[in-house]
Structure 1
Amino acid sequence: MSTHSEQSAVTVLGLGPMGRSLARAFLDAGLRTTVWNRTPGRDRELVARGATAAPSAAEAIAASPLTVVCVVNYDAADAVLRSGPASAAAEGRTVVNLTADTPGRARSTAGWAAGQGIRYLDGAIMTPTTTIGTPAAVFIHSGPAELYREAGPILDALGGTHTHLGEEIGRAAAHDIALLDIFWTAMNGFAHALALARAEGITARELAPFAQGIGAVLPPLFESYAQALDDGDFSGTDNPLTSAASSMAHIAAASEAHGIDTGVMRAAERLARRAVDEGHGTDGFIRIAELLGRR
């Protein structure tokens, strides 16, 4: 267990599954930890481990020089932070908001915090609750570099890797939302694939090893496609968009034969055919990113 001075104190606002995991990691690191949650009762285990339960958000914030916020969204975060007593308590203190939401909401809250004299960092947690406090945890942050350096010793207690993405406050949320786009689109694809496989008499367990093989193909494709997009190289010698559109049509047709919803796949096919219709049929799939990014 790490040792810290008595001044090494932290507050956690929000005790959902992730908030409780953050508080546990701080306690395990020897930090004096104060906790608060809008719904009573979620702090019992943490108090038993040595945390101090504050009766209000304002008192929780006042107990530590640094407060970590982790609630369901920025509506909830703003409801807590922007209340009169809490915002007054936060003046001159550091708030690290690890709540997930949009980049615009992060910028809005940061602008409000600056007007209140609150030292504000935004961030996101990129790994599950079970990783918190372990080397597998991944955190991203954005905001003033000096403030990030000051908060570093406290944030390091959460384990894993911490990356400062720049001073523009919305960059962490922008990374988070883009990466979650990959995750949930992929998970939707996996769920759809399982439904289609089961309709054809293939169990989920039978398909899973082959699905993992498909997943293993993706990391090198991500790297090469990212480089191609940044370089403006849309060549599709190995897998032109015409082939991709045809494959998507086959998937949709097989699904529709079993009455399985194909809204997502048909939408993807329409994008591919739109690119083909615009004369990009021999381009690679990454042309879709350029098409979607047009204003």
Structure 2
Amino acid sequence: MSSQTDSDVTLIGLGLMGRALAGALLKVGHQITVWNRTSAKAEDLVAQGARLADSVNIAVNASPVTITCVSDYKSLQQAFAPVADELDGRLLVNLTSGDSAQAREMARWTEQRGAYYLDGAIMAVPPTIGTDEAVILLSGSKTAFKTHQSTLAALGTATYLGEDHGLSALYDVAGLSMMWGVLNAWLHGVALLGTAGVDASTYTPFAVQMAQGTVGWLAGYADQVDSGTYPPDDATLATHAGGMAHLIEESERLAVNADLPRLFKALVDQAITAGQAGHSYPVLIEQFTQESRTS
């Protein structure tokens, strides 16, 4: 192991994702320094030209940019405690998963020590890192993003969201909500069709068609949410409620778990009780934001 390095980028955290990030940087010719609590995880990277540092201090001081990808923010804070006084003028790019409050707190801690900070979220699996398919969400210092954009682009499609350090974490969980919503709805449909002997592969092309059609509504619905007006150009909430009741009844009759459509209808029923039966579906945003308005 080296005791002193001089490189373009330092990478801390060599799990599956961390090693993929380091490999992508090496592939495009960056000189990188790496550090991990278990140094054996660096062996393949060292064989490819990475430099292994003896400590976090040496790793951070080796490069103007440090990218971190560790298990959680607690581990991140523990790793950086020994170098708190050595961050002045450097850029920390944190790709550790967490929430928006943690991101903003880490930004305050870092910037109080004279460093720039970008918080990020990786919307990809390790094999896609380094390709356009890997979306890397980043928020925080716009100056730092622009200065180091070419380096960040080596990891995938580096997407800057804004100065608020919490935006990446919020986009991350919003995207996951979308993903699980689609997957759970598809699985519910698979279960329904399965009672008639239709397998998942046969049903899925129709499911994809429905999902794509629904996606086509989003831009128009977004305009309604942003303007706060919900004209029922396609269907009223009352019409949706009738369809949901039918979906629940059919699920129960076929002994298919109906928790998901019951949740759909519970939200619609709340809106109808609030006098919104004649509005379009996006008026349900008020059910999702009600708690934040009253807290």
- Same-fold status (TM-score > 0.5): yes
1:183-202 equivalent positions in 2, closer than 5 A: 183-202=179-198
- Is the 8 Å Cα contact of residues 138 and 168 (structure 2) preserved in structure 1? yes
Q: Paired residue for 1:3?
A: none
Deviation at 1:111, TM superposition (A): 1.2
Select which of 230, 253, 270 maps to 1:274: 270
The 3 A distance-change label for structure 1 pair 250 and 220 is same
**Residue in 2 that maps onto 1:263:** 259
Structure 1 residues 239, 41: closer, same or farther in 2, change over 3 A? farther
Q: Which amino acid aligns with 2:146?
A: R
Tell me if the contact between 2:7 and 2:62 (Cα under 8 Å) persists in the aligned partners.
Answer: no
Q: Deviations over 1:139-169 (max 9, x none)?
A: 2222122122222232122233x23222222
TM-score by length of 1: 0.87
Q: Which position in structure 1 is the counterpart of 2:286?
A: 290
Mapped to 2, the partners of 1:225 and 1:283 lie a distance apart of 12
Aligned partners of 2:6 and 2:62 also within 8 Å: no
Which residue in 2 is equivalent to 1:107? 104
Kept in 2, the 8 Å contact 1:237–1:282? The answer is: no
1:123 and 1:139 in contact (8 A); partners too: yes
2:51 is the counterpart of 1:58: no
Q: Which runs of 5+ in 2 are unaligned?
A: none
Q: Report the Cα distance in structure 2 between the residues aligned to 1:48 and 1:86, rounded to whole angstroms.
A: 27
Q: Which moved more, 1:197-206 or 1:250-259?
A: 250-259
Q: How does 1:100-249 map to 2 (within 5 A)?
A: 100-160=97-157, 162-249=158-245
Please report how far the alpha carbon of residue 137 of structure 1 lies from its aligned counterpart in structure 2 after TM superposition: 2.8
How far is 1:258 from its partner? Answer: 4.4
The DSSP-based 3-state class of the residue aligned with 1:229 is helix
Work out whether 1:87 is the aligned partner of 2:47.
no
Question: What is the aligned residue count?
Answer: 287
The CA deviation at 1:91 is 4.2
1:256/1:63 CA distance change after superposition, 3 Å? farther
**CA 1:222–1:130: 2 relative to 1, 3 Å:** farther
Residue type at the aligned position of 1:180: L
Counterparts of 2:66 and 2:22 in 1: how far apart (Å)? 11
Q: 1:46 to 1:260 in 2, by over 3 A?
A: farther
Shift of 1:7: 6.7
Q: List runs of 5+ in structure 1 lacking aligned partners.
A: 1-5
CA contact (8 A) 1:58 1:87 kept: no
Aligned mates of 1:293, 1:111 — CA distance in 2: 27
- Paired residue for 2:8? 9
CA–CA distance in structure 2, aligned partners of residues 251 and 72 of structure 1 = 41
The answer to whether the 8 A contact 2:124-2:134 is kept is yes
Aligned Cα root-mean-square deviation (Å): 2.3
Larger CA deviation: 259-268 vs 165-174? 259-268
Structure 2 Cα separation of the partners of residues 229 and 125 of structure 1: 28
Q: How far is the alpha carbon of 1:234 from its aligned partner?
A: 0.7
SS in 2 for 1:130: helix
Q: CA deviation at 1:89?
A: 4.3
Give the partner amino acid of 1:226. A
Q: Does the 8 A contact of 1:237 with 1:283 survive in 2?
A: no
Residues 67 and 273 of structure 1: CA distance in aligned 2, closer, same or farther (over 3 Å): same
1:283 alignment partner AA: H
* Contact 2:244-2:264 within 8 A present in 1 as well: yes
**Percent of pairs identical after alignment?**
36
Per the alignment, residue 45 of structure 1 pairs with 44
Find the aligned partners of 2:10 and 2:195 in 1 and give their Cα distance.
Answer: 50
Taking a change above 3 Å as real, the CA distance of residues 7 and 46 of structure 1, as seen in their structure-2 partners, is closer
Does the aligned pair in 2 maintain the 1:59–1:89 contact within 8 Å? no
Structure 2 counterpart of 1:30: 29
- Whole-angstrom CA distance in 2 between matches of 1:246 and 1:33: 59
Partner of 2:77: 78
- Asked if the contact 2:7–2:33 (Cα under 8 Å) also holds between the matched residues in 1, the reply is no
CA apart distance, 1:107: 0.5
C-alpha separation in 2, matches of 1:253 and 1:75: 47
CA 1:72–1:253 in 2, change beyond 3 Å: closer, same or farther? farther
Amino acid at match of 2:246: H
Output the TM-score relative to the length of structure 2. 0.87
Amino acid across the alignment from 2:122: I
Distance 2:38 2:220 in 1: 47
How far residue 130 of structure 1 moved from its aligned partner, in angstroms, is 3.2
